[in-house]
Amino acid sequence: MVLRIELDPEEDGSWFAQVPALGVRCHGDYHADAVIKIQALALRDLADRVERWEYPAESLEITFRLPGQTSSED
């Protein structure tokens, strides 16, 4: 599962981050802060979904994709 992270700078210098596939969003004081927070939030969301049997845990392999990042899977 590849989760795309979207990052947008705010006027005050903070960053808005989201993972559209999961519908999770957060703010960070700076770029790296937003990335760390959105990854943690996304993982918590996925853990909740696994507990509710929405995803089979043994089949989850998670990769986060930042804007501009590519891989051999693309």
Higher pLDDT, 21 or 54: 21
Report, as an integer, the average pLDDT of 25-53: 93
Confidence bin at 71 (pLDDT 50/70/90): low
The domains of the chain are located at: 2-65
Instruction: Share the mean pLDDT of the chain.
Output: 86
Q: What separation in angstroms does the CA of 28 have from each of 1, 2, 52, 55, 61?
A: 24, 22, 29, 28, 26
C-alpha to C-alpha distance for 46 and 34, rounded to whole angstroms: 18
The domain over range 2-65 is classified in CATH as 3.30.420: no
